[in-house]
Structure 1
Amino acid sequence: MGINLNKSALIIVDVQNDFLPGGALAVGDGNEVIPVINQIQDKFDLIVATQDWHPSNHGSFAANHPGKEVGDFINLNGVNQYLWPIHCVENSEGAGFPESLQGQSWNKIFKKGTNPEVDSYSGFFDNGKIEETGLGDFLKGEGIEKVFVTGLAADYCVKFTVLDALDLGFKTYLLTDATKGVNVSPNDTIEAFTEMENKGAILIQSNDLP
């Protein structure tokens, strides 16, 4: 495929305890991305991670809306919001990174979902495009032109991170064997892969890296 890793960054999206088996919002087989991500980190000069970091009163939590259940939708600050179980509450064990994920060479961690009034799937912006995390400016300030996206979950936070990276002008690769989906509906991950590819993302596997 002839991939050149010059001026590239690895983005590790939300590989946190609550999204792993046994967590509050577990992604099926989510733990399987960890050895893949660990194996490829030494190929990149710049590595960033995103971290879901919600206040306990976050508007995306079904428990904060009496009479609502997980899976219901509400209008949250003008955005049609899917209601989730309580997860990745700031400073909780669930919001932390698993010990098995190697983070010693990460350059920076970008927290997201900190505003209770709007959810934030993407590592770059919240869902209403009201606030930025600073990730885009950081990458551009470092001279990054290509990003390689991994993590959880393929059909939500990974997908929106990929789409925003494309919108910001980065050549964007998705490592399909280093992501897993929630699959609220059975085909969500496959459909997310198709949507990302149609928007310009390049779908590869970790063994395609030089």
Structure 2
Amino acid sequence: MTKRALLLVDIQNDFCAGGALAVPEGDSTVDVANALIDWCKTRGDAVVASMDWHPADHGSFASQHNVEPYTQGRLDSLPQTFWPDHCVQDTEGAELHPLLKHKAIDAVFHKGANPQIDSYSAFFDNGHKQKTQLDEWLRHHEISTLIVVGLATDYCVKFTVLDALSLGYSVNVITDGCRGVNLNPQDSAQAFMNMSAAGATLYTLADWVETQG
């Protein structure tokens, strides 16, 4: 039997209402995530989470470059959006959303701790120079299929899904469990198209529950 894991991408306070980098309707991902946690736990599936975990002087922060948030530039020779300070290590903003079922999470993987480069994906930094421990953990537990929800659709979810596919995982994205930043109005829709084109299967929560039994 194929082993599965639910991957919760960056469902953290700073990406939800009142947070430093609040994603529109970001909080709505929590109910979907919790429903999937319950669904997975009754079937023996693992539940893992990624967390942005930035030092206070992270190079992706607009404050480090004296520019306005959302300014475009470069970091470590890569194109970079300069963000409001967010998910700073050991702050309330970096914590998982309080209504998320924390106790059901089997493992948490931090990303974005290197101040010299951003890390959207839960697997790699943006330059693919360093890996997190996520892939090693999944392989150790013989997991080959992922169910993905979280924040934000057009950044961390998209790059996590694309990396998972490139690493050989079967990936299912629950679309109503994701919300996007949408610096451009169609960014999230385009992100879902990119994920699907790369091999991910897209479901709503209702479709997933109905088709997967």
TM range, normalised to the smaller chain? Answer: over 0.9
Q: Following the alignment from structure 1 to structure 2, what is the Cα–Cα distance between the partners of residues 29 and 73? A: 24
Is 1:62 the counterpart of 2:77 in the alignment?
no
Q: Can you list the C-alpha shifts for 1:120-174, whole angstroms capped at 9, x where unaligned?
A: 0000000011111110111111111100110000000000000000000000010
SS at match of 1:182: coil
Is 1:14 the counterpart of 2:10 in the alignment?
yes
Give the structure 2 partner of residue 125 of structure 1. 124
Q: Following the alignment from structure 1 to structure 2, what is the Cα–Cα distance between the partners of residues 29 and 48? A: 22
With normalisation by structure 2, the TM-score equals 0.94
Give the structure 2 partner of residue 51 of structure 1. 51
SS at match of 2:27: helix
Q: Where do residues 26-175 of structure 1 align in structure 2 (5 Å cutoff)?
A: 26-44=22-40, 45-66=45-66, 68-175=67-174
SS at match of 1:177: strand
Look up the equivalent residue of 2:10 and give its one-letter code.
Answer: D
Q: How many Å apart are 1:36 and its aligned residue?
A: 1.0
Q: Following the alignment from structure 2 to structure 1, what is the Cα–Cα distance between the partners of residues 19 and 104? A: 25
Give the structure 2 partner of residue 188 of structure 1. 187
Q: Equivalent pairs: percent with the same residue?
A: 45
Q: Following the alignment from structure 2 to structure 1, what is the Cα–Cα distance between the partners of residues 72 and 141? A: 39
Look up the equivalent residue of 1:134 and give its one-letter code.
Answer: Q
Gaps of 5+ in 1: none
With normalisation by structure 1, the TM-score equals 0.95
Is 1:200 the counterpart of 2:199 in the alignment?
yes
Look up the equivalent residue of 1:150 and give its one-letter code.
Answer: V
Q: How many Å apart are 1:206 and its aligned residue?
A: 1.4
Look up the equivalent residue of 1:137 and give its one-letter code.
Answer: E
Q: Can you list the C-alpha shifts for 1:33-58, whole angstroms capped at 9, x where unaligned?
A: 11111011123220100000000100
Q: How many Å apart are 1:6 and its aligned residue?
A: 3.8
Q: How many residues align?
A: 205
Q: How many Å apart are 1:99 and its aligned residue?
A: 1.5
List 4+ stretches of structure 1 deviating above 3 A: none
SS at match of 2:190: helix
Q: Can you list the C-alpha shifts for 1:33-90, whole angstroms capped at 9, x where unaligned?
A: 1111101112322010000000010000000013x22122222112111100000000
Look up the equivalent residue of 2:56 and give its one-letter code.
Answer: S
**RMSD over equivalenced CA pairs, Å:** 1.1
SS at match of 1:100: coil
Q: Following the alignment from structure 1 to structure 2, what is the Cα–Cα distance between the partners of residues 201 and 185? A: 23
SS at match of 1:47: strand
